[in-house]
Amino acid sequence: ELGPAGLDTLFQTYAAEIDQQVANPLLAATPEWQRLSAALDAVSQQKDSYLSGLYWYTDFAQAKAAARAARRPILSLRLLGKLNEEYSCANSRFFRTILYSNAEVSKLLRENFILYWQSERPAPRVTIDFGDGRKLERTLTGNSIHYILDADGRPLDALPGLYGPQAFTRQLLIAQELFRSLQGMDPAQKESLLTNYHRDQNNRISLAWLADTTRIGGKL
C-alpha cells in the first residue's frame, strides 16, 4: 500500500541480507531468504526483484497519477503471463535476468520512469512427467512489448521484442528526450513533433537494416 516507498523501506531494512545474496548467488536459499524474497516480489510485483530494486504498478490509473506527480514518462510492459510469477513468458524472464538487473538499466528506470505491466493472457506451458514422481514444467514461448507513454497514457514509442542492455538504454534515453520535448506544447505542436520523430526513427531503422544486410552479404 505504500508503493515505491514501501519497497525502499524493505531494501533499506534488509540491505545486508540482500547484498549477501547478490554477492553469493549460489548460496542455498534458507527459509528466511525465501520469505524475504517473496515479500520483495509481492511489494514490487516483479519476480526476483532483489536484483533490480524496481517497483511496478499493475493499476494503470495509479501509474498515470504517479507519472503526472513525478512528471515522468511511463514504461508500460505488455507480456504473456505475469511479471511477478516464475512462469511468465520467455521474453519477460529474459528482461528480469538481463535487462532489469543490469545496474545501468535499473538506475535509469528507477530514476526516470514510472513502471507498469499488464498481462495479455497466460503464457503457454508444457509439462513433462517422467513417471517416477519428477515433473518438468516450462513455458513454450513468449512475446512482449515495452511502450513508452506520456503521463496521460498516450503512446509515444514502442520497443517490441528483445533488447540487450545497451540498445535498450539507448532507446529509453531517446524516448525520454522526446517526452521532455513535448512538455508545454499544444496538441497541434505535439502531433507535428511526433510525426517528424517517427519518420526519423523509421529512416534510421531502415538504414541500419540496410547496413546489417549488406554486411552479411545480403541484398535488398
Q: Which residues of 163-180 are buried (b: 16+ CB within 10 A; e: fewer)?
A: bebeebbebbeebbebbe
Q: Which residues of 150-160 are buried (b: 16+ CB within 10 A; e: fewer)?
A: bbeeeebbebe
Q: What is the pLDDT of residue 82?
A: 94
Four-CA torsion 44, 47, 51, 55, nearest 10 degrees: -20
Cell, residue 5? 516507498
Distance CA(91)–CA(5), nearest Å, equals 28
CA angle (207 as vertex; 203, 211 as ends), nearest 5: 170
Q: Count Cα atoms within 13 angstroms, Cβ side, for 164.
A: 2
188-197 pLDDT per residue, tens: 999 999 999 9
Mean pLDDT (the chain, rounded) = 93
Instruction: Look at the pTM and tell me if it is higher than 0.75.
Output: yes
151-165 pLDDT per residue, tens: 999 999 999 999 999
* Strand 125-129 versus strand 114-121 pairing type: unpaired
Distance CA(119)–CA(117), nearest Å, equals 7
Question: Is residue 55 within 8 Å of 112, Cβ to Cβ?
Answer: no
Question: Is residue 148 within 8 Å of 157, Cβ to Cβ?
Answer: yes
Mean pLDDT of 182-202: 94
Helix count (H) and strand count (E) of the chain? 8, 7
* Strand 125-129 versus strand 135-139 pairing type: antiparallel
